[in-house]
Each structure stands twice: as structure tokens, then as C-alpha cells.
A and B are shown apart, each in its own frame.
Chain A
């Protein structure tokens, strides 16, 4: 019997847990609805290049003769100051926002999770050191660090992504460390230590897999907030640069014209709102489903 099988739950209780999750999910209409919309958004993000009505407008085509047209049958959301179809650009913006958010979160995880696992498992000086560094990063007001880093790296979507990852990882480190501290007291870890498994193996083969579930859940819940941050950075000019059809950037550019061309500001902003809203609703619903107290029923 290998050590690995000791640490992984047996199948039967897992099945019951999954059944319970689905039952709770079913009862919560709002969560179901947000799940559906999130899936829809993901589909749009993936298939965007294929479904936008005016693919050229997304890239860099300009049609100055059609500038600032109100919404109509040809241009559902109207056009911007360069005559580009706002509907296509908003749709494509889904892809950009989702992509950037996912990459940012993944990078944050890749930095944060190992650090947290190491801190929690090893304890002692390493733990203190890592947690102090985490404290330093967390003592910046949210978003501020991302702004500062993005400003200094130079305004671009990739740098914004990096900036967000750098300001976000401490949250995961804290989360994982907390988990790791309780896991390292469990039997199978003690057993592994006793037979002389190297610390690296203990951390990555035993501790991390058992911490990872709540972290993944938290990360998917964070996507909403990350998308909001990306659009805020782009709004300030620190993220996506023209002609990328990023929502925040569109709202920012629209400011010059918005008093007369309301559609230019409203639709991209609405897209941000709805996307972040459904991710947050889904996250809330998931959190409630996974809350051990609700599951006690």
C-alpha cells in the first residue's frame, strides 16, 4: 500500500459528497443561472474570432465615415470614433478579459501556492520569512500595487497581467499556508517524514494535492475581481493599449464622446458589469455549497 493511497480519500464518501454538491447546486436557482451565463461567456471567449460580425474592426480596421453611429440593425451597439462596430469589439473583449484574467491568476497561483506550501510545511524561519514578505505585499491597498507595477513596467496588457499576478499571489500563499499547517499534522505526512522522504517530495506530492481544492475554488471566484482590476488598469491607461478591444480601454476612450455617444461608454461597461457579476454570483453560490455548515444537512 503506497503512501499516496493513504492520503487520498476513498471513493465512496467522495461520491456522496459530489451528490450533495449537485443537490445543493440544483436548489440554488441564482447559482445555476450564473453557471449557465459563465459557460456562455467562456464559449464566447473561445469562439470570438468566429462569431463577431465584423472581424476586421476588432483588429485595426477603421471606417472613419461611419464614426459614432447610434445602435442600429447593422451595428447593434453603434460605432466608435473610428467607425468600428462596438458590438464586435465588446464581444471580442470577452476573450481578452477572460484570457488575461486566467493567465494572471495562474501565474499568481504558480508563485503563491508553492510558497504557501513551503511556509506551512517547513515552519520555522522559512515560514516567518515568507509570511513577512507576504505581509509586505498585502500592506499595499488592493489595486495600488498593480497600478504602481504596471506604471513602472510600462503600459501594456501583458504587463498589466504580470502586475496583477504580482499583487495577487500573497492571498494564495496565506490560504495555502493555513491549509498546509493543518495537513502537516496529519498521519500520512508524519509517516512520510518518518521514513525519510525528502521535504521537496513531501511538499509537492503530499501537501499540495491536499490543499489544492479550496485554492482552485478561491481562484475561480477571484476571476471576477481580476477582470475588474484589468479593466480599471486599462481605464487608467496602464493596461491594454489601442487598438486592442479591451473593455476598460473602450470606456476610457469613450469619455471624450460619451455625452453625445452614450452607447460607446455604456455597452463596454455593461459587459464588464455582467461578466464580473456572474463570476461573483457563481463564486458566492459555490462558497455556500462548499460551506461545511450547509453540507451538514
Chain B
């Protein structure tokens, strides 16, 4: 088992290196001149030249690459072209809000998606199955950005019950300042007993939460269903039934454990999708997270910021996959 983890870790590092290489390659392929971007459009030639030296763009390519890697190892993701702030710090500021959404969507995916898939497989061809399959397929076919707009239209414009966007309303933010402990608004307001902020934050997270949770729920439900269908056809399930074991136990205790591998894999995949879907959702709901950060970076073509977020997301994704692989390898049949 240990050797498997080590091997997998090494593979992960190798892959990470490849990722860094690709992202570096991208930064040097851009049509625009980063130096010009850095100093702005009204800079003189001399200022641009100074910027080039400051950014290290005059050095040979391999030196630039080494510097790039060295920076990364120190946690330095570079500086945003717009704000001239270290990207790492900006990411830290915006990360908690995005994490709230990602966590919410993952929790929903597991708590709603898995039972839906299990029941759907158990009652195959029942109306519950048909409904659930249609719902799942629909959920993964919906354009996330459109769902967000649609929900805003209904709940804000037509019904007026939920806010349009942002994490907190302006007034609450000004009049009930929140004492930050963890950086998570909902958690902090709960801990500090600030219920005005809590109510407000909860109201604000409903629409973006639903929007971003739909795709993962659909994905997890589909995969769980197909994994479970295969398992329920296995001989050992038939044997378990012959011993008189109740269906509840067979489904939720036996079959679920058998499906652990595919389930963990699909939950990881859905977190990956969610990470990127936050770009779309945060743009729509003006949610102050990384997604919003990157979509404005994209609009402004702030390349270092785009690269910074890309590397960060890739690292997170690689780690998640590593974790998932380890969990899957816990299957006793896998002889490591």
C-alpha cells in the first residue's frame, strides 16, 4: 500500500511538472506583450523597456522557466497585471467564498445524487427511475450560466423573494460588520452569533448554491445508478437475497460499499467540474470568489492572473485525484 502511495505521488509530481510546463508555454505564446500590459497603454518606450527588464522578459527562455518554477515553489504565483498585487494574496482573499459554493455543491451532490442513483437502480424501469434519469440527464445538459439567470428572473424579478447576487447585501455588510475567524461568512456568523448576517448570507447563497449543485447532482446520480445496476446484477447480491437479508441492508450497506470506487471517482470528477463552473456562476451572481476573479481576468486579458488560477486549480485537482486513487485502492481486491 505504501509503495502505491509513493508511486502515485511521484506520478503526481511528474504530471504537475508537465502542467507547469504547459502553463509556462502558454504565457510565452500570447500575442500581446506582457510588458506593455504591465505599464499600461500610455507608457513610453523607455518605461516598457524598464518593465521588460523588471519582469525578467529579456533573459533567455530557459532562465525564465527556471525562475518561474523557483517562484512557484516559493508560493509566488506572480503579480496581477491589473492590480499589481501578488496573485497568491488575491487568491487567498477570494478563496473562502468559492470554497463555500464548492463545498455546498459537493455536499448536495453526495446527499442527493447518491441516494437518487441508488433508488433509481433499485427500482429500475419504475416511474421513479424514469423521472430520476430524466432529471439527471437534464441536470448535466443545462448551461450553468443560463440556470443562474433563469433563477434570478424567477426568484428576484418575478417573485422578489431572493436577492440578485453577491454574498451579502450592501446594507448588512456596512451595518453589521462580521468578525472574521475562518474567512467563511456562514461559519463565522454562526460562531459569533451574528444572526442578521447569517440570515442574509443564507438567503444569498440559495440561488448560486442551487445553480452550481445541479450539474454535480446529475453527474453523481447517473454514475451511481450505472455502477449500482452492475452491482445489483452480481451473484453475491443474489446470494445475499437468498439468505433473507432485507433490501435496505443489501442496498445501503452491501451494494454501496461495492460501489465505493466509482462513486469516489465521480465525486472527484464533479468537484473538478464545479471548480470551473464557479467561474460561470460567480460571474452571474457577482459572487466574490475566485471564479469572479478569473472571469474579470479573462475579460481584461490579465494573463498572469489567468495562469495563476489555472495552476492553482490544476494543483487542487491533481491532489483530489491522488486522494481518490488512494481511496479506490483501498478495495481489498486491489493487490498492491
A residues neighboring B (CB under 8 Å): 30, 132-133, 135-137, 139-145, 147-149, 151-154, 224, 228, 231-232, 235-238, 248, 251-252, 254-255, 258-259, 262, 265-266, 269-270, 272-273, 276-277, 280-281, 284, 293
Contact = CB atoms under 8 A, between A and B. Distances in A.
Q: Contact size class for B?
A: 35 or more
Say whether chain B's binding surface is mostly helix, strand, loop, or mixed: helix
Contacts of A276: 141-143
Contacts of B14: 132
Q: Which of B16, B137, B144 has the largest count of A CB atoms less than 10 A from its CB?
A: B137
Contacts of B284: 255
B299 to A, nearest CB: 6
B15 A232 contact: no
A148 B141 contact: no
A145 B18 CA distance: 13
Contacts of A251: 143, 145-146, 149
Contact of B280 (A153, A154, A236): A236
Contact of A142 (B273, B279, B307): B273
B334 to A, nearest CB: 18
B177 interface: no
Given A231-B143, A251-B146, A152 B29 contact: yes
B23 interface: yes
B303 A277 contact: no
Contact of B141 (A135, A137, A153, A273): A273
Nearest to B316: A141
Interface of B: 11, 14-16, 18-19, 22-23, 26-27, 29-31, 133-134, 137-138, 140-146, 149-150, 152-153, 156-157, 233, 269, 272-273, 275-277, 279-280, 283-284, 294-295, 298-299, 301, 303, 306-307, 310, 313-314, 317-318, 321
Closest 3 CB pairs of A and B: A269-B146, A136-B18, A141-B272
A153 B22 CA distance: 14
Contacts of A293: 233
Contacts of B15: 132, 135-136, 139
A100 B130 CA distance: 32
Contacts, number: 140
Tell me if A's interface is mostly helix, strand, loop or mixed.
helix
Given A136-B15, A139-B318, A232 B280 contact: yes
22 contacts: A135-B11, A136-B19, A136-B22, A140-B310, A143-B277, A144-B314, A147-B294, A147-B310, A149-B26, A151-B306, A152-B26, A235-B143, A236-B279, A251-B143, A251-B146, A262-B153, A269-B146, A270-B146, A276-B142, A277-B141, A280-B140, A284-B133
Given A144-B276, A272-B143, 20 more contacts: A136-B15, A136-B22, A139-B19, A139-B317, A141-B273, A142-B273, A143-B276, A143-B277, A149-B26, A228-B141, A236-B279, A236-B280, A237-B298, A251-B146, A258-B153, A259-B153, A265-B153, A266-B150, A269-B146, A270-B146
Contacts of A145: 310
Contacts of B318: 139
A60 B30 CA distance: 29
A235 B299 CA distance: 11
A140 B321 CA distance: 11
A163 to B, nearest CB: 11
Given A136-B19, A258-B153, A142 B137 contact: no
